[in-house]
Amino acid sequence: MLLKDHKDLKAAITAIPPKEKDKLLLRLIAKDKVLTEHLHFKLLEDEADLAERYQSLLEEIDEAAEILNGMKKSTSKDVLLVLRKLNGRVNHHFKVTKDPDTEVELRLHLLINMPIGYNESVFSPMAKFNERLKTYFLRTTLALYKKYQKLHEDLQYDLKDKFNQILDKLHQHQLTKAAREVGLPEEL
- pLDDT for the residue numbered 17: 87
Cβ 49 vs Cβ 41: under 8 Å: yes
With bands split at pLDDT 50, 70 and 90, how would you rate the model's confidence at 110? very high
Length of the chain as a residue count: 188
Reported as a single tens digit per residue, the pLDDT across 73-99 is 878 888 899 999 999 999 999 999 988
At 148-164, the pLDDT tens digits run: 999 898 988 998 899 89
Mean pLDDT computed over 126-145? 86
What's the whole-model pTM score?
Answer: 0.82
Confidence of residue 117 (pLDDT cuts 50, 70, 90): confident
Higher pLDDT, 143 or 73: 143
pLDDT at 121 over 80: no
Average pLDDT, the chain: 85
pLDDT for res 12? 80
Q: When comparing pLDDT for 123 and 136, which is higher? A: 136
Residue that wins the pLDDT comparison between 176 and 139? 139
Angle between helices 76-97 and 100-113 (to 10 degrees): 170
Q: Is the pLDDT of residue 71 over 90?
A: no
The pLDDT score that the predictor gives to residue 1 is 59
